[in-house]
């Protein structure tokens, strides 16, 4: 398998809210000597609003459009890119990210999600089914999308952030 150029230099983290993409991404960047980009922060900075305020003003579909545009324009080298949990709703963005790096799905169980996210109403979580959407419905809707786009899947249940970051680094390092 020959992957040359920028492809292997970037690592794109996808997964449910609370899977640890942003926190793990920072630790992973240090372990692997890479830069770090938090896509949610780029979206907030470009829109000058919190994710939740963007969702409140534009609705879930409007937010996904903004996210899709911003993710599709990311250019980076030798960087860990933490996406928002809803990135997988944007096929164009995911296809772009797959061309610039290796997509890693940080997989957590439904039970872990519930333990980490008792209330996602202020977290800026896109609920395509509306505010009445349950966490179970969100999990069941997104899991197949994460699996579809992932080049590598890493189960991070019951791992500390550092242990999970080391597990990702080990999986991506050619021995």
CA 100 to chain centre: 15
Distance between CA atoms of 49 and 56, rounded to whole angstroms?
Answer: 10
pLDDT in tens, 49-72: 999 899 889 988 999 999 999 999
**Mean pLDDT across the stretch 113-139?**
72
DSSP letter string over 17-29?
TTS-HHHHHHHHH
pLDDT in tens, 6-44: 445 899 999 998 899 999 999 999 999 999 999 999 999
Whole-number pLDDT of residue 68: 94
Q: Domains of the chain by range and CATH?
A: 10-168 (3.40.50.300)
State if pTM tops 0.75: yes
DSSP letter string over 100-130?
HEEEEEEE--HHHHHHH-S--TTTT---TT-
- Assign residue 87 a region: left if phi > 0, alpha if psi is -120 to 50, beta otherwise? alpha
């Amino acid at each position: 398998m020959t992957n040359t150029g920028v492809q292997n230099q970037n690592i794109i983290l996808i997964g449910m809210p609370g899977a640890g993409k942003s926190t793990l991404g920072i630790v992973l960047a240090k372990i692997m000597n890479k830069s770090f980009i938090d896509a949610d922060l780029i979206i907030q900075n470009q829109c000058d609003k919190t994710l939740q305020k963007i969702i409140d003003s534009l609705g879930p579909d409007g937010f996904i459009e903004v996210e899709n545009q911003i993710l599709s324009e990311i250019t980076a080298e030798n960087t860990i890119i933490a996406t928002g949990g809803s990135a997988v709703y944007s096929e164009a963005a995911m296809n772009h990210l797959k061309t610039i790096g290796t997509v890693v799905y940080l997989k957590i169980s439904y039970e872990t999600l519930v333990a980490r996210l008792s209330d996602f109403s202020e977290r800026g979580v896109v609920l395509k089914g509306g505010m009445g959407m349950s966490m179970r419905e969100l999990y069941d809707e997104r899991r197949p999308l994460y699996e579809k786009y992932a080049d590598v899947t890493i189960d991070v249940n019951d791992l500390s952030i550092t242990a999970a970051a080391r597990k990702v680094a080990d999986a991506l390092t050619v021995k």
